[in-house]
Amino acid sequence: MNRVSIQTVHLEAIVDHARACLPAECCGILIGLPVGEQPPTSTADESLQVSEVHPVRNIASADQSNHYKIDPLDHLRLQRTARERGLRILGFYHSHPQGPAEPSIEDMRRPWAGYAYLVIAPGHNANNGSPPAISLHTAPDNMTANQRHSPTPPSPGPWHVRCWEWNDTQGLFTEIPLRVADATT
Domains and CATH numbers, the chain: 3-180 (3.40.140.10)
- List, in order, residues 6 or more apart from 183 with CB less than 8 Å away: 7
- Tens of pLDDT along 116-140? 999 999 876 544 544 445 555 444 4
Quote the pLDDT of residue 148. 37
Residue 5's pLDDT is 93
What integer pLDDT is reported at residue 143 of this predicted model?
40
Burial of residue 141 (CB within 10 Å: 0-12, 13-18, 19+) is exposed
pLDDT score for 124: 60
pLDDT of residue 135: 58
Q: Label residues 105-120 b or e (16+ Cβ within 10 Å = b).
A: eebeeebeeebbbbbb
* Sites in the chain below the pLDDT cut of 50: 38, 40, 43, 126-127, 129-132, 137-155, 185
pLDDT recorded at residue 123: 78
CA angle at 184 for the pair 30 and 2, rounded to the nearest 5°: 45
Of 16, 85, 105, 89, the closest CA to residue 50 belongs to 89
> For residue 127, what pLDDT is reported?
46
